[in-house]
Amino acid sequence: MTEPILVVDRLSGRIAGQQVVEDVSFDVPALGVTALLGRNGVGKTSTIKSILGLIERTGEVRLAGTRVDRLPTHRIVQRGVGYVPEDREVFGALTVGENLRLAERDDRPRRDLVERLFPDLVERRAQRAGTLSGGQQQMVSLARALVNENRLLLVDEPTKGLAPRIVDEVAAALAEAAKTVPILLVEQNLHVVRALAERVVVLSGGRVVFTGSASDLLDDDDRIRRYLGVHDATSEGRSR
């Protein structure tokens, strides 16, 4: 097995002085999708934000062997990290085109890829992102990450609150992306996890409690109950 693309070692994060990530260690292999799982509020989003330096953090984060935990967010991203935040965070007052243009870091942005994956966005280029539906906003958010050549994608709950048809579309786009770039995925919908992820990392109380292959977790009802607190995997992710 090759060297992991991302190594997280004893990472802790705090927001306004409060510990939200505690001593988390795991790594993301250089290929495929790694899912970061856990119940609501265990610090999945905060872990992603700590990796990016969006919240105060200590500990070690290595991207492709280089330490990035002392770098400001924009430098980490410039090293080839695409970020799709929870709740999409599109710039509502900017048009779709402007949202994408802002995200382009490379000399040769992969506009054709984005246009192939999300044909809807081409038509809506001049529309304000704030007036889009949730699903369309998620497309914009994904497109912002995919428009660049990345070494790693951090994707936070991309299917949250979306209609089943859109969930499939998002999953398809992620599967397509995963062919060329490793992804660390936070996801509540276990169907999506099953379809995409090879490996899973489970957090509980801000700590890693399980690391292993996706099937080891998902085929074991007892583990699912214990770590994720759900009986019926299909109902998960719609509760909010």
Partner 1 sequence: MNPQRTDAGAPAHEVDPVDRADAGERSAVASARRPFLLIGGGIALVVVLAILPLLAIDLPGVLPGPTYTPGTLQLLAYAMLIAALALSYRMMFGLAGLLSFGHALFFAAGAYGLGMTLDAFAPVSWPSELIFVGSIAVTLVLGIVLAATVGSLALRVTGISFAMVTLAFAQAGSVLIRRNPGGTTGGDEGLSLDIDHVPDALVGVVNTRNLYWLALGVLVFVYLVVLWVERSRAGRVAEAVRENELRVRVIGLRPYTVKLLVFIVASVLAAIAGMGYLLLQSGASPRIATADFTLTLLVIVVLGGVGYRWGAIVGGIVYTLLDQRLTALAGSDLIAGLPAVLRVPLSEPLFILGTLFILVVLFLPGGIAGIPQRMSTGRKQHPAETEEAADA
Partner 2 sequence: MSTLLLLIITGLGLGALYFLVASGLSLIYGLMGVLNFAHGSFLTISAFLGWEVGRRVSDGTWAGLAISAVVGMLVGAVVAAATEYLLIRRLYERHIEQALVTVGLALASVALFEGIWGTDPIYTQKPEWLGQTTEILGAKIPNDRFLLIACAALVLGGIVLFLQRTRYGLIIRAGVENRSMVTALGIDVRRSFTIVFAIGGAAAGLGGVLASVYYGYVSAHLGSVLLIFAFIVTVIGGLGSLTGAAIASVLVAVLQQFANYYLGGTGDLVVVIALAAVLLVRPRGLMGKVA
- Per-position DSSP letters for the chain, written without gaps between them: -PPPSEEEEEEEEEETTEEEEEEEEEEE-SSSEEEEE-STTSSHHHHHHHHHTSSEEEEEEEETTEE-TTS-HHHHHHTTEEEE-TT----TTSBHHHHHHHH--SSS--HHHHHHH-HHHHHTTTSBGGGS-HHHHHHHHHHHHHTS--SEEEEE-TTTT--HHHHHHHHHHHHHHHTTS-EEEE-S-HHHHHHHEEEEEEEETTEEEEEEEHHHHHT-HHHIIIII--SSGGGTT---
Q: Minimum CB separation from partner 2 for residue 73, in Å?
A: 4
Interaction partner, residue 101 (partner 2, partner 1, none; CB < 5-8 Å by kind): partner 2
Q: Minimum CB separation from partner 1 for residue 60, in Å?
A: 11
17 contributes a contact to partner 1 by CB under 8 A:
yes
Site for partner 1 in 70-129 (CB under 8 A): 70
101 contributes a contact to partner 2 by CB under 8 A:
yes
Q: Minimum CB separation from partner 1 for residue 74, in Å?
A: 17
85 contributes a contact to partner 2 by CB under 8 A:
yes
Q: Minimum CB separation from partner 1 for residue 96, in Å?
A: 32
Site for partner 1 in 35-74 (CB under 8 A): 56-59, 70
Please give the residue ranges that form the binding site for partner 2 (CB under 8 A): 52, 54, 72-74, 77-78, 83, 85, 89, 91-94, 98, 101-103, 105, 144, 148
